[in-house]
A and B are shown apart, each in its own frame.
Chain A
Amino acid sequence: EAQVTQNPRYLITVTGKKLTVTCSQNMNHEYMSWYRQDPGLGLRQIYYSMNVEVTDKGDVPEGYKVSRKEKRNFPLILESPSPNQTSLYFCASSLVGGAGSPLHFGNGTRLTVT
């Protein structure tokens, strides 16, 4: 089944403790992206990747890191999480970037930072 898989689904952590949210897609998509969803703000892009070894900042990249060593994986790294990073995070992928092909989203990771 074609899908985007994120792990974990839920994560509670403390301020400053490094964490990684994994994302994997099995559709051979070139484009991958991370979003955070907050009430009243919609989906805001954190980072995106047009292809392997190519990553770029989105609208809200501060406090986050990503890597794209392989086509299928695009982990999101929070080196020193803070409470304002408490949010619902979505990974998404598409064949190409922009509106050229539809985005496929994972089921989300709900992160709480205390």
Chain B
Amino acid sequence: GQQLNQSPQSMFIQEGEDVSMNCTSSSIFNTWLWYKQDPGEGPVLLIALYKAGELTSNGRLTAQFGITRKDSFLNISASIPSDVGIYFCAPATGAQKLVFGQGTRLTINP
């Protein structure tokens, strides 16, 4: 079966620092999605990537769809306290269900 590995599992950073996390897979996907889960809430879609090599930004967030279609990364620049939460990658192929990574828990020290 497919293997999906998200890293790091947790990050402890200072406010203002940049953050980088990634997901790698043994399978090829057509879509990579990134979700964020705020404490006590359900995940919310941050960024969607639909083409290999695509680089997409959403404010301080930047995500890339790897050229091999087996990986993706998410960067957050100049972190702020509200960036705290758990980030999930969620790749998919066509109409198949999403597969979620294990999550990266981000903690920010003010």
Task: Please give the residue numbers on chain A whose beta carbons come within 8 Å of chain B beta carbons, in ascending order.
Answer: 4, 33, 35, 40-45, 48, 58, 90, 92, 96-100, 102-103, 105-108
Instruction: Bin chain B's interface residue count.
Output: 20 to 34
Docked CA distance A95–B44 (Å) = 15
Q: Using Cβ atoms and an 8 Å threshold, which residues of chain A touch B102? A: 40-42
Q: Using Cβ atoms and an 8 Å threshold, which residues of chain B touch A100? A: 95
* CB of A35 to closest CB in B, whole Å: 8
Q: Using Cβ atoms and an 8 Å threshold, which residues of chain B touch A48? A: 97
18 additional A-B pairs beyond A43-B100, A98-B97, A103-B43, beta carbons within 8 Å, are A40-B102, A42-B103, A43-B103, A45-B97, A58-B97, A90-B43, A97-B95, A98-B93, A99-B33, A99-B48, A99-B92, A105-B41, A105-B43, A105-B44, A107-B40, A107-B42, A108-B41, A108-B42
* CB of A53 to closest CB in B, whole Å: 19
B:69-99 near A, CB below 8 Å: 88, 92-98
Measured CB to CB, the nearest residue on chain B to A106 is B42
> B31 near A: Cβ within 8 Å?
yes
Measured CB to CB, the nearest residue on chain B to A98 is B95
The dominant DSSP class at the B interface is: loop
Docked CA distance A58–B100 (Å) = 12
Measured CB to CB, the nearest residue on chain B to A102 is B45
B:25-73 near A, CB below 8 Å: 30-31, 33, 35, 40-45, 48, 50
Docked CA distance A42–B9 (Å) = 10
Q: Using Cβ atoms and an 8 Å threshold, which residues of chain A touch B9? A: 40
Contact at B97–A105, with CB atoms within 8 Å?
no
Docked CA distance A12–B95 (Å) = 36
Docked CA distance A48–B35 (Å) = 19
Docked CA distance A27–B9 (Å) = 33
